Amino acid sequence: MKNKAEDTETERPLKKIEELGNEIVRDIKLGNNPKFVTTVRSRSNIIFDPKKGYLALGSSKEERNFINVAQSKRFMQTVAVAAKCHKFVQEGLHTTIRGLFYQLKFSLGEDVDENIFSEQSESNPLIEDIEVALDVKREGLNLNANRKGVLAGNMRIIDTFGNEKIEIDCSKQGRSGWAIPSDVDNDIEFVDIKAKYVLVVEKDALWQRLNEDLFWKKENAILMTPQGQAARGTRRLIRKLADRGLPIYIFTDSDAWGWYIYWTIKTGSINLAYMGSDVATPEARFLGVTMSDLDNYEFLNKMTIKASEVDLKRAQEMLNYEWIKRHADWEAELQRMIKSKIKLEQDALQGPRLTFVGDYVREKIKNKKYLS
Amino acid sequence: MKNKAEDTETERPLKKIEELGNEIVRDIKLGNNPKFVTTVRSRSNIIFDPKKGYLALGSSKEERNFINVAQSKRFMQTVAVAAKCHKFVQEGLHTTIRGLFYQLKFSLGEDVDENIFSEQSESNPLIEDIEVALDVKREGLNLNANRKGVLAGNMRIIDTFGNEKIEIDCSKQGRSGWAIPSDVDNDIEFVDIKAKYVLVVEKDALWQRLNEDLFWKKENAILMTPQGQAARGTRRLIRKLADRGLPIYIFTDSDAWGWYIYWTIKTGSINLAYMGSDVATPEARFLGVTMSDLDNYEFLNKMTIKASEVDLKRAQEMLNYEWIKRHADWEAELQRMIKSKIKLEQDALQGPRLTFVGDYVREKIKNKKYLS
């Protein structure tokens, strides 16, 4: 059922893990100290490149050796994790990092009866080590991440699932929308993308509002919500849609949490810096709600909320972020909140009438009223 | 596009609100003190009837009068909320309780310029007052609640949405599943239910595991996950499927949170006691994971986790709940956790092999190994 490109996608992780194993066996046979090399993921090695516009890892490497009292347990654990993932990919079955942990607790392999994992906090960083060292995403290792987010719009999905090619028309999902999965790379295709842009709405409540108005149909857009902070799968999908040339507009509250959602989609995050450009969309634009909306929409002045200490502290911090302080429009926004100590929710746009939300978005896009 | 039954469903809330308004006008014309009567929702009026098996409100009533210094503001607010909901239903547009709050802040009506709402905590309880007083669910007042949960299985959905009848085949949703909406009562039908039972799986991760194994197809079941605590829409859907005669099996962790999820689905909750039988499924059975699984599945003894203080405290409390202490099987479970101070996660069933989860569920159902 799979086409060639997909086959390669499945075989690559297998090959990469096998290469790692073969190297270790070779070292043992040659009497060398087996080693595992990965890129350092601590803050000291996370870099923001203004030209690229996203957070990524630098070049610092870290080596783990088997014959080293301080490192041998971790070395063994890394090999055990790689072996389990190899098995999952071979079986064609998926689990989570929790499921992987329980498999490691159950048994390390056919003739190993040692329990070298007592907490999941031991196996989690090793998965990231392997992702980075082998240049394979955990989705390719058949490990599902948490998923969240839905979308509607003029696009079809071909999901190769249970030996069937299942077609999903994202314009025929009614009130529910299509639930964005954890893995949007393997055995799944996005076809017939007729939509002209992507609107990412922070809150599911506002997504439902716009979906009911058939906003995506009238505007020929893909209407998406990450349902709060965007999960790995949703961030990856936004990147993939941007790669197809679709403009990405982000629509959140004007508060610390909303800004965080925007900047995570745009520049990536510290935690996922190791995935670099795969989960960052520097082309994304911030549509609103903005503090400057208060000048253009009189009624919003009745709708403001007191900013919390967290909001104010976060705004102050953002003024110092390398990737934000370069943007004069953002500086003005942040300074305005700090001065006025108020914030605005996207829900407030429903004040005058429920359908005003869509009019607001339309007007913003038409007049290119977005922040960089 | 609507059939007669659905028309009635839309018209009933309108009529109910109009009756309330007419009564108030009548009282004013007659020189009487306008009043609003609803059922008390505080704990003192929440009753568990062992014969019915769910939490519901008792008969205590509470009256709010317009000409009463302590009550007149709240009376006005109640009327304002009812008027807004009437408008939403008339327009055929939905929002959330947050959207309602912003509409109330914007304006109370054509010629009222008073701002009588400053916090959403003022409008929220009034919505429940109206739901109870008029015997109309908030979904019928076009107020969406938070939604969460997905399902797959041999069933079709006809969602009347955007003047179209959209058909969704729940056996053709691939890795994603169908996202359960907030409102499963109005303008939506569940047809061709060929599945023989419903399996409700606490965690989305385990749902994905079973979905990948096509468990729902092999067993002819509806495979559902509430993704943690069940939202209003999911609880309501479980009730509706039980009404069609489908057995409901609940599969959660063996810990305080898992038990809470089960008992909430089964008996309802304090917060939604006012919805009584509409969101409770006393027929539901608890499949696992149980403490007694430790006797029947040797490997699980390697997989236990230390119970938290919260787990132990909650187990102790549950022993005193009227609706639990009547069940000897549950008493044994709770006592065993309190004594051994350990708990078990459903994820642990993936230890021996990823597909063991499905085998476990099958065996439990086949041998009727569930708790009441």
pLDDT at B113: 64
Model confidence, pTM: 0.95
- Respond yes or no: is residue B249 known to be catalytic: no
How does residue A236 score in pLDDT terms, banded at 50, 70 and 90? very high
Would the pLDDT of B65 be above 60?
yes
Would the pLDDT of B270 be above 50?
yes
pLDDT at A112: 67
User: What's the average model confidence in pLDDT over A282-301?
Assistant: 96
Of A173, A204, A209, the CB nearest to B95: A209
Would the pLDDT of B5 be above 90?
no
| pLDDT per position as a tens digit, A339-367 | 999 999 999 999 999 999 999 999 999 99
Would the pLDDT of B54 be above 70?
yes
Would the pLDDT of B329 be above 80?
yes
Would the pLDDT of A61 be above 60?
yes
Task: Tell whether A367 is within 8 A of chain B (Cβ).
Answer: no
- Rounded Cα distance between B6 and A129, Å, is 56
Tell me which residue of A307, A356, A310 sits closest to A336, measured CA to CA: A307
Q: What topology is assigned to A150-366 in CATH?
A: Dna Topoisomerase Vi A Subunit; Chain: A, domain 2 (3.40.1360)
- Rounded Cα distance between B301 and B91, Å, is 58
Same CATH topology for B4-141 and B150-366: the answer is no
Tell me which residue of A197, A189, A278, A293 sits closest to A234, measured CA to CA: A278
Q: How far is CA B282 from CA B55, B199, B318, in A?
A: 10, 15, 17
Find the range with the poorest average confidence among A109-118, A135-144, B178-187. Answer: A109-118
- The domains of chain A are located at 4-141, 150-366
Mutate to test the interface with A, among B138, B180, B350 (most CBs of A within 10 A): B350
Residues 6+ apart with CB under 8 A from B319: B325, B331, B334, B335
- Rounded Cα distance between B56 and B124, Å, is 20
Mutate to test the interface with B, among A101, A108, A172, A176 (most CBs of B within 10 A): A176
The secondary structure element, H or E, covering residue B309 is helix B309-318
The CATH class for the domain spanning A4-141 reads mainly alpha
CA of B175, closest CA in chain A: separation in Å? 7
How does residue A111 score in pLDDT terms, banded at 50, 70 and 90? low
How does residue A6 score in pLDDT terms, banded at 50, 70 and 90? very low
Would the pLDDT of A1 be above 80?
no
Would the pLDDT of B2 be above 60?
no
Would the pLDDT of B287 be above 80?
yes
How does residue B10 score in pLDDT terms, banded at 50, 70 and 90? confident
Which ranges of B92-167 would DSSP assign to H, the alpha helix?
Answer: 97-106, 120-134
Tell me which residue of A109, A140, A208, A176 sits closest to B142, measured CA to CA: A208
- Can you read off the two tokens belonging to residue B79? 């009327």
pLDDT at B233: 97
Interface touch A95/B179, C-beta < 8 Å: no
Share above pLDDT 90 across residues of chain A, in percent, rounded to a whole number: 87
pLDDT at A323: 86
Which residues of A are less than 8 Å from B96 in CB distance? 205, 208, 347
Query: Distance between terminal CA atoms of chain A?
Result: 43
How does residue B8 score in pLDDT terms, banded at 50, 70 and 90? low
User: What's the average model confidence in pLDDT over A160-167?
Assistant: 94
- Can you read off the two tokens belonging to residue B363? 């065996």
- Rounded Cα distance between B241 and B281, Å, is 10
Interface touch A302/B115, C-beta < 8 Å: yes
Would the pLDDT of A4 be above 60?
no
pLDDT at B136: 95
Task: Tell whether A144 is within 8 A of chain B (Cβ).
Answer: yes
User: What's the average model confidence in pLDDT over B342-365?
Assistant: 97
Residues 6+ apart with CB under 8 A from A257: A228, A229
Of A93, A181, A351, the CB nearest to B105: A351
* Residue found by looking up tokens 């009635």 in the block: B8
C-beta separation of A188 from A160 below 8 A: yes
Of A167, A175, A181, the CB nearest to B176: A181
Interface touch B173/A162, C-beta < 8 Å: no
> Strand A150-152 and strand A221-225: pairing?
antiparallel
- Can you read off the two tokens belonging to residue A305? 């909320």
Enumerate residues 259 to 298 of chain B having a beta carbon within 8 A of any beta carbon in chain A: none
pLDDT at B323: 86
Of B167, B212, B348, the CB nearest to A102: B348
| pLDDT per position as a tens digit, B188-204 | 999 999 999 999 999 99
DSSP B26-92: HHHHTT---EEEEE--SGGGEEEETTTTEEEE-S-EEEEESS-TTTHHHHHHHHHHHHHHHHHHHHT
How does residue B112 score in pLDDT terms, banded at 50, 70 and 90? low
- Rounded Cα distance between B75 and B68, Å, is 9
| pLDDT per position as a tens digit, A30-45 | 999 999 999 999 999 9
Ramachandran angles phi, psi of A246, nearest 5°: -80, 130
Q: What sign does the CA torsion over B41, B44, B50, B51 have?
A: negative
- Can you read off the two tokens belonging to residue A364? 């913003």
Mutate to test the interface with B, among A106, A180, A289, A304 (most CBs of B within 10 A): A106
How does residue A8 score in pLDDT terms, banded at 50, 70 and 90? low
Task: Tell whether A370 is within 8 A of chain B (Cβ).
Answer: no
Q: What is the mean pLDDT of chain A?
A: 94
| pLDDT per position as a tens digit, B200-251 | 999 999 999 999 999 999 999 999 999 999 999 999 999 999 999 999 999 9
How does residue A5 score in pLDDT terms, banded at 50, 70 and 90? very low
Which residues of B are less than 8 Å from A174 in CB distance? 157, 159, 161, 166, 168
Which residues of B are less than 8 Å from A146 in CB distance? 204-205
Identify residue B269 by its one-letter amino acid code. Answer: S
- Rounded Cα distance between A294 and A191, Å, is 40
